[in-house]
Structure 1
Amino acid sequence: MEQLPPSDLKTILHSKRANIYYLEHCRVMQKDGRVLYLTEAKNENCYYNIPIANTTVILLGTGTSITQAAMRMLATAGVLVGFCGGGGTPLFMGAEIEWLTPQNEYRPTEYLQGWMQFWFDKEKRLAAAKQFQQARVDFIRATWSKDRHLKEYHFYLNDSDIEQAITNFEKKVSHLNKVGELLLAEALTTKQFYKIAATRCQLNGFERNQERGDLANNFLNHRNYLAYGLAASCLWVLGIPHSFAVMHGKTHRGALVFDVADLIKDAIVLPYSFICAKEKMTEQAFRQQVLQKLTEHKAMDFMFKQVKRVSLSSFSGK
Structure 2
Amino acid sequence: MKQNLTSSDLKTILHSKRANVFYLEKCRVMQKNGRIVYLTETEKENLYWNIPIANTTVILLGTGTSITQAAMRLLASAGVLVGFCGGGSTPLFAGSEIEWLNPQSEYRPTVYVQGWLSFWFDEAKRLEAAKAFQQERCQFLRTVWGKDRELQDELFDCDDLEIKQALKTYEKEIPKAGNVTELLTKEAAFTKKLYKYAAKQSDWGEFTRRQQGDDKANVFLNHGNYLAYGLAACTLWVLGIPHGFAVMHGKTRRGALVFDVADLIKDAIVLPWAFICAERNTTDQEFRQVCLQKFTEHKALDFMFSQVKECSTMFARSGGDVV
Match of 1:207 in 2: 208
Measured after TM superposition, the shift of residue 158 of structure 1 is 2.1
Pairwise mapping of residues 1-318 of structure 1 onto structure 2 (< 5 A)?
A: 1-93=2-94, 97-250=98-251, 252-314=253-315
Question: Displaced runs of 4+ in structure 1, greater than 6 A?
Answer: none
TM-score scaled by structure 2?
Answer: 0.95
Task: List gaps (5 residues or longer) in structure 1.
Answer: none
Counterpart Cα distance in 1 of 2:77 and 2:251: 33
Measured after TM superposition, the shift of residue 97 of structure 1 is 2.4
Percent identical pairs in the alignment equals 67
Judge conservation of contact 1:83–1:93 (CA < 8 Å) in 2: no
Counterpart Cα distance in 2 of 1:281 and 1:233: 28
Judge conservation of contact 1:126–1:178 (CA < 8 Å) in 2: yes
Post-superposition CA distance 1:70-102 (Å, at most 9, x none): 0111111000011110111110039x8211111
Judge conservation of contact 1:153–1:201 (CA < 8 Å) in 2: yes
Measured after TM superposition, the shift of residue 314 of structure 1 is 3.1
One-letter amino acid of the counterpart of residue 143, structure 2: A
Measured after TM superposition, the shift of residue 103 of structure 1 is 0.7
Measured after TM superposition, the shift of residue 160 of structure 1 is 1.7
TM-score scaled by structure 1?
Answer: 0.96
> Per the alignment, in what secondary structure is the counterpart of residue 224 of structure 1?
helix
Counterpart Cα distance in 2 of 1:58 and 1:199: 34
Task: List gaps (5 residues or longer) in structure 2.
Answer: 317-323
> Per the alignment, in what secondary structure is the counterpart of residue 307 of structure 2?
helix
Report the number of matched residues. 314
Counterpart Cα distance in 2 of 1:177 and 1:314: 21
Judge conservation of contact 2:146–2:159 (CA < 8 Å) in 1: no
> Per the alignment, in what secondary structure is the counterpart of residue 172 of structure 2?
helix
21-30 or 152-161: bigger deviation: 152-161
Judge conservation of contact 1:243–1:249 (CA < 8 Å) in 2: no
Counterpart Cα distance in 1 of 2:30 and 2:168: 50
Counterpart Cα distance in 2 of 1:181 and 1:46: 53
> Per the alignment, in what secondary structure is the counterpart of residue 188 of structure 2?
helix
> Per the alignment, in what secondary structure is the counterpart of residue 101 of structure 1?
coil
One-letter amino acid of the counterpart of residue 286, structure 2: A
Post-superposition CA distance 1:5-50 (Å, at most 9, x none): 1110000011111100000000000110011100100011110000
Judge conservation of contact 1:37–1:48 (CA < 8 Å) in 2: yes
Counterpart Cα distance in 2 of 1:68 and 1:168: 52
Judge conservation of contact 1:248–1:256 (CA < 8 Å) in 2: yes
Counterpart Cα distance in 1 of 2:30 and 2:135: 43
CA RMSD of aligned residues (A): 1.3
One-letter amino acid of the counterpart of residue 298, structure 2: H
One-letter amino acid of the counterpart of residue 309, structure 1: E
